[in-house]
Amino acid sequence: MLFRVIDIETTGLALPAEIIEIGRVDVTVDDSGVRIDKPKSRLYRPLHGIPPETMAVHHITEADFKPDTPTCTEELLRSAIWSGGKPDALVAHNCEFERSFIPAEITDDLPWICTLKTALRVWPEAPQHTNQVLRYWRGLTLDAELAMPPHRAGPDAWVTAHLLVELLKSATPEQMIDWTARPKALPTVTFGKHRGAKWADVPLDYLQWMARQSDMNADAVACAQEELARRNGPRAAA
Protein backbone atom coordinates (compact mmCIF):
# COMPACT_ATOMS: atom_id res chain seq x y z
CA MET A 1 0.00 0.00 0.00
CA LEU A 2 1.05 3.55 -0.65
CA PHE A 3 0.28 6.01 2.16
CA ARG A 4 0.80 9.71 1.45
CA VAL A 5 1.41 11.62 4.67
CA ILE A 6 0.40 15.28 4.44
CA ASP A 7 1.09 18.25 6.69
CA ILE A 8 0.26 21.89 6.07
CA GLU A 9 1.16 25.22 7.63
CA THR A 10 -1.31 28.06 7.29
CA THR A 11 -1.90 31.70 8.15
CA GLY A 12 -4.58 30.76 10.69
CA LEU A 13 -6.60 27.94 12.19
CA ALA A 14 -9.59 28.10 9.84
CA LEU A 15 -10.67 29.43 6.47
CA PRO A 16 -10.33 32.02 5.03
CA ALA A 17 -6.75 31.49 6.26
CA GLU A 18 -4.38 30.34 3.52
CA ILE A 19 -2.03 27.41 3.08
CA ILE A 20 1.56 28.68 3.03
CA GLU A 21 3.45 25.38 3.19
CA ILE A 22 2.67 21.78 2.37
CA GLY A 23 4.84 18.80 3.19
CA ARG A 24 4.43 15.17 2.21
CA VAL A 25 6.09 11.85 2.82
CA ASP A 26 5.26 8.66 0.94
CA VAL A 27 5.22 5.44 2.96
CA THR A 28 5.14 2.19 1.01
CA VAL A 29 4.25 -1.07 2.77
CA ASP A 30 4.47 -4.27 0.75
CA ASP A 31 5.89 -7.79 0.86
CA SER A 32 9.44 -6.44 0.79
CA GLY A 33 8.89 -4.35 3.93
CA VAL A 34 8.41 -0.65 4.68
CA ARG A 35 9.94 2.27 2.80
CA ILE A 36 9.66 5.84 4.03
CA ASP A 37 10.64 8.38 1.40
CA LYS A 38 12.33 11.61 2.43
CA PRO A 39 10.00 14.56 2.98
CA LYS A 40 9.16 17.06 0.27
CA SER A 41 7.84 20.51 1.05
CA ARG A 42 6.93 23.68 -0.77
CA LEU A 43 6.14 27.21 0.30
CA TYR A 44 3.27 29.31 -1.03
CA ARG A 45 3.00 33.07 -0.75
CA PRO A 46 -0.15 34.24 1.07
CA LEU A 47 -2.32 36.92 -0.48
CA HIS A 48 -3.17 38.54 2.84
CA GLY A 49 -0.03 38.27 4.93
CA ILE A 50 0.75 36.22 8.04
CA PRO A 51 -0.41 37.32 11.50
CA PRO A 52 2.43 37.58 14.02
CA GLU A 53 0.78 35.10 16.38
CA THR A 54 0.82 32.54 13.56
CA MET A 55 4.44 33.33 12.69
CA ALA A 56 5.26 32.55 16.32
CA VAL A 57 4.09 28.94 15.76
CA HIS A 58 5.80 27.95 12.51
CA HIS A 59 8.23 30.90 12.16
CA ILE A 60 7.46 31.35 8.47
CA THR A 61 7.83 35.03 7.60
CA GLU A 62 7.74 37.16 4.48
CA ALA A 63 11.53 36.82 4.26
CA ASP A 64 11.11 33.11 3.46
CA PHE A 65 9.31 33.76 0.18
CA LYS A 66 11.23 34.30 -3.03
CA PRO A 67 9.97 36.73 -5.69
CA ASP A 68 8.64 33.82 -7.76
CA THR A 69 6.98 31.91 -4.87
CA PRO A 70 3.44 31.13 -6.09
CA THR A 71 0.17 31.42 -4.21
CA CYS A 72 -1.46 28.10 -3.29
CA THR A 73 -4.00 27.65 -6.07
CA GLU A 74 -6.31 24.66 -6.41
CA GLU A 75 -4.19 23.45 -9.33
CA LEU A 76 -0.96 23.56 -7.31
CA LEU A 77 -2.64 21.90 -4.35
CA ARG A 78 -3.93 19.10 -6.55
CA SER A 79 -0.44 18.61 -7.95
CA ALA A 80 1.02 18.42 -4.44
CA ILE A 81 -1.50 15.74 -3.46
CA TRP A 82 -1.46 13.62 -6.61
CA SER A 83 2.02 13.83 -8.11
CA GLY A 84 4.00 10.63 -7.71
CA GLY A 85 1.14 8.20 -8.28
CA LYS A 86 -2.23 7.64 -6.65
CA PRO A 87 -1.93 6.70 -2.96
CA ASP A 88 -4.21 4.21 -1.26
CA ALA A 89 -4.82 6.64 1.60
CA LEU A 90 -3.92 10.13 2.75
CA VAL A 91 -2.54 10.44 6.27
CA ALA A 92 -2.24 13.36 8.68
CA HIS A 93 -1.98 13.90 12.41
CA ASN A 94 -5.33 15.43 13.32
CA CYS A 95 -6.40 15.22 9.69
CA GLU A 96 -9.55 17.27 10.38
CA PHE A 97 -7.29 20.31 10.13
CA GLU A 98 -5.81 19.32 6.75
CA ARG A 99 -9.24 18.35 5.44
CA SER A 100 -10.66 21.76 6.36
CA PHE A 101 -8.16 23.38 3.96
CA ILE A 102 -7.92 20.67 1.28
CA PRO A 103 -11.38 20.25 -0.30
CA ALA A 104 -12.82 16.86 -1.17
CA GLU A 105 -12.91 17.93 -4.82
CA ILE A 106 -9.12 17.69 -4.79
CA THR A 107 -8.72 14.43 -2.86
CA ASP A 108 -11.62 12.76 -4.72
CA ASP A 109 -12.46 9.38 -3.18
CA LEU A 110 -9.20 8.86 -1.29
CA PRO A 111 -9.73 7.70 2.30
CA TRP A 112 -8.00 9.53 5.14
CA ILE A 113 -6.16 8.10 8.13
CA CYS A 114 -5.85 10.27 11.22
CA THR A 115 -2.82 9.21 13.25
CA LEU A 116 -4.11 11.28 16.19
CA LYS A 117 -7.41 9.40 16.38
CA THR A 118 -5.57 6.11 15.84
CA ALA A 119 -3.00 6.86 18.54
CA LEU A 120 -5.78 7.71 21.01
CA ARG A 121 -7.16 4.20 20.54
CA VAL A 122 -3.90 2.27 20.25
CA TRP A 123 -1.89 4.19 22.88
CA PRO A 124 -4.42 5.66 25.35
CA GLU A 125 -1.74 5.58 28.05
CA ALA A 126 0.52 8.07 26.23
CA PRO A 127 1.20 11.26 28.24
CA GLN A 128 -0.11 13.38 25.36
CA HIS A 129 -1.00 12.62 21.77
CA THR A 130 0.71 15.36 19.74
CA ASN A 131 3.00 13.97 17.09
CA GLN A 132 6.12 15.35 18.81
CA VAL A 133 5.22 13.94 22.23
CA LEU A 134 4.45 10.57 20.66
CA ARG A 135 7.74 10.71 18.78
CA TYR A 136 9.74 10.85 22.00
CA TRP A 137 7.39 8.65 24.02
CA ARG A 138 7.80 5.87 21.44
CA GLY A 139 11.56 6.35 21.47
CA LEU A 140 11.81 7.09 17.76
CA THR A 141 15.33 7.94 16.65
CA LEU A 142 14.97 10.26 13.68
CA ASP A 143 17.44 12.21 11.59
CA ALA A 144 17.31 15.71 13.07
CA GLU A 145 17.87 17.30 9.67
CA LEU A 146 14.60 15.76 8.49
CA ALA A 147 12.58 15.81 11.73
CA MET A 148 13.33 19.36 12.84
CA PRO A 149 12.14 22.01 13.34
CA PRO A 150 8.63 21.17 14.58
CA HIS A 151 5.65 23.05 13.17
CA ARG A 152 7.10 22.98 9.70
CA ALA A 153 5.32 20.90 7.09
CA GLY A 154 8.18 18.67 5.94
CA PRO A 155 9.51 17.73 9.40
CA ASP A 156 6.03 17.22 10.85
CA ALA A 157 5.07 14.95 7.94
CA TRP A 158 8.32 13.00 8.51
CA VAL A 159 7.48 12.46 12.18
CA THR A 160 3.90 11.49 11.37
CA ALA A 161 5.12 8.99 8.76
CA HIS A 162 7.16 7.19 11.40
CA LEU A 163 4.24 7.23 13.82
CA LEU A 164 2.10 5.67 11.07
CA VAL A 165 4.59 2.82 10.73
CA GLU A 166 4.54 2.29 14.51
CA LEU A 167 0.73 2.27 14.54
CA LEU A 168 0.62 -0.27 11.70
CA LYS A 169 2.21 -2.75 14.10
CA SER A 170 -0.99 -2.67 16.17
CA ALA A 171 -3.78 -1.77 13.75
CA THR A 172 -4.75 -2.42 10.16
CA PRO A 173 -5.29 0.34 7.61
CA GLU A 174 -8.98 -0.57 7.54
CA GLN A 175 -9.23 -0.07 11.31
CA MET A 176 -7.47 3.28 11.05
CA ILE A 177 -9.81 4.47 8.31
CA ASP A 178 -12.81 3.40 10.39
CA TRP A 179 -11.51 5.17 13.53
CA THR A 180 -10.84 8.29 11.48
CA ALA A 181 -14.54 8.48 10.62
CA ARG A 182 -15.50 8.31 14.31
CA PRO A 183 -15.19 10.82 17.16
CA LYS A 184 -11.91 10.92 19.10
CA ALA A 185 -11.59 8.23 21.79
CA LEU A 186 -10.53 10.56 24.61
CA PRO A 187 -8.64 8.61 27.30
CA THR A 188 -10.01 10.78 30.12
CA VAL A 189 -12.63 13.43 30.80
CA THR A 190 -11.26 16.78 29.65
CA PHE A 191 -13.39 19.23 31.64
CA GLY A 192 -15.59 19.72 34.68
CA LYS A 193 -15.45 18.18 38.14
CA HIS A 194 -14.29 14.83 36.78
CA ARG A 195 -11.55 16.32 34.62
CA GLY A 196 -8.68 13.82 34.27
CA ALA A 197 -10.78 10.81 35.35
CA LYS A 198 -10.85 7.68 33.23
CA TRP A 199 -14.24 7.03 31.71
CA ALA A 200 -14.60 3.80 33.67
CA ASP A 201 -14.34 5.80 36.89
CA VAL A 202 -16.94 8.45 36.05
CA PRO A 203 -20.21 8.13 38.03
CA LEU A 204 -23.15 6.73 36.10
CA ASP A 205 -25.38 9.77 36.59
CA TYR A 206 -22.71 12.11 35.24
CA LEU A 207 -22.26 9.94 32.14
CA GLN A 208 -26.01 9.91 31.58
CA TRP A 209 -26.10 13.70 31.85
CA MET A 210 -23.22 14.09 29.39
CA ALA A 211 -24.80 11.71 26.91
CA ARG A 212 -27.90 13.94 26.71
CA GLN A 213 -26.04 17.17 25.93
CA SER A 214 -26.41 18.59 22.44
CA ASP A 215 -24.07 21.58 22.81
CA MET A 216 -21.13 19.78 24.42
CA ASN A 217 -17.93 18.69 22.69
CA ALA A 218 -19.00 15.90 20.34
CA ASP A 219 -15.99 13.72 21.14
CA ALA A 220 -16.72 13.87 24.87
CA VAL A 221 -20.40 13.07 24.34
CA ALA A 222 -19.48 10.10 22.16
CA CYS A 223 -17.06 8.81 24.80
CA ALA A 224 -19.76 9.08 27.48
CA GLN A 225 -22.20 7.21 25.26
CA GLU A 226 -19.62 4.48 24.55
CA GLU A 227 -18.90 4.05 28.26
CA LEU A 228 -22.62 3.79 29.03
CA ALA A 229 -22.99 1.18 26.31
CA ARG A 230 -20.02 -0.74 27.70
CA ARG A 231 -21.48 -0.81 31.20
CA ASN A 232 -25.14 -1.40 30.53
CA GLY A 233 -25.69 -2.28 26.90
CA PRO A 234 -26.56 -0.10 23.90
CA ARG A 235 -29.89 1.16 25.35
CA ALA A 236 -28.15 2.95 28.23
CA ALA A 237 -26.65 5.58 25.91
CA ALA A 238 -30.06 6.57 24.54
Per-residue pLDDT for the chain (238 aa), expressed as one digit of tens each?
999 999 999 999 999 999 999 999 999 999 999 999 999 999 999 999 999 999 999 999 999 999 999 999 999 999 999 999 999 999 999 999 999 999 999 999 899 999 999 999 999 999 999 999 999 999 999 999 999 999 999 999 999 999 999 999 999 999 999 999 999 999 999 989 999 999 999 999 999 999 999 999 999 999 999 999 998 865 544 5
Under a CB-based contact definition with an 8 Å cutoff, are residues 16 and 49 in contact?
Answer: no
**Distance (Å, rounded) from C-alpha 92 to C-alpha 231?**
33
Beta bridge partners of 8: 22
Which amino acid, 7?
D
pTM of the full predicted structure? 0.92
DSSP 3-state of 1: coil
**Distance (Å, rounded) from C-alpha 46 to C-alpha 67?**
12
